[in-house]
Amino acid sequence: MSSDHGSSAISERVRRVEALLEQRGVIAAGEVDRRIEEFLAGGSPANGARIVARAWVDDGFRDRLLADANAALPEVGLSMAGGIQEQRLKVVANSATEHHVLVCTLCSCYPIALLGPSPSWYKSEAYRSRVVRDPRGVLAEFGTTLPDDVRISVWDASAESRYMVLPVRPAGTGSLSETELAALVTRNGLIGTALL
């Protein structure tokens, strides 16, 4: 936690506004703390990884997921309805010839329910401005180099629509269980800035 002057000034101001809103009954006492706990205990890339592992082992689920992700998520006990409003989810599948990568050029829309809090780079102007113009160059900054003949699609999320990448199942994983497969899936793999 930063303790420089700028940070402590805003910290103090946030505390004052929060107290004022509680005092006036606009928000309930303790609601902010409860929401923080809930959020930190909620989404994590493990959720997205669970979806991917199921899709790798179950072709029927994979088809349903790609056709209508919102309808398929309850099969693995997940939902896009937990936030401020239900969000439409589209899952996009990588292949040997096609790679997908996610962005929100306007702000920071991200499938929090499935991936947890987004990393700062996802919210940065650098990523948001450049990945739509030069996806190969930006992917290279993540150490991800794709053959020239692999087509790259960039998906721009919005307040109503979120995306998640279904990565290619790594070779030589035929004997792994669904749980072991889920452990191979990384956050950046689900965003599309990394391969698995």
Partner 1 sequence: MSRINDVGGVVGFPAVVQEPDEPPFHADWEAHVFALNGALIKAGVYNLDEFRDAQERMDPQAHLAASYYERWFTAITTLLAEKGVATPAELGG
Which residues are at the interface with partner 1 (CB under 8 A)?
1-2, 7, 9-11, 13-15, 17-18, 20-21, 24, 26-28, 31-33, 35-36, 39-40, 84-85, 103, 105-108, 116-117, 119-121, 123-130, 132-133, 138, 141-142, 156, 159
Nearer to partner 1, 41 or 96 (CB): 41
Residue 161 annotated as catalytic: no
DSSP state of 185: -
CB of 41 to partner 1, least distance (A): 11
Q: In terms of residues, how long is the chain?
A: 196
The C-alpha R_g of the chain, in whole angstroms, comes to: 19
CB of 7 to partner 1, least distance (A): 6
Residue 79 annotated as catalytic: no
Nearer to partner 1, 14 or 81 (CB): 14
CB of 68 to partner 1, least distance (A): 24
Nearer to partner 1, 84 or 96 (CB): 84
Residue 7 annotated as catalytic: no
Q: Which of 8, 11, 95, 107 is the catalytic position?
A: 107
Residue 108 annotated as catalytic: yes
Nearer to partner 1, 176 or 196 (CB): 196
Q: Which residues pair with 161 in a beta bridge?
A: 88
Helices (H), the chain: 5-23, 31-41, 45-57, 59-67, 69-72, 112-115, 120-123, 125-130, 135-141, 178-182, 187-191
- Nearest-angstrom CA–CA distance, 100 and 174: 24
**Token pair for 5:** 């002057």
Q: Which residues pair with 91 in a beta bridge?
A: 164
Residue at token pair 């929401």:
35
**Catalytic site positions:** 104, 107-109
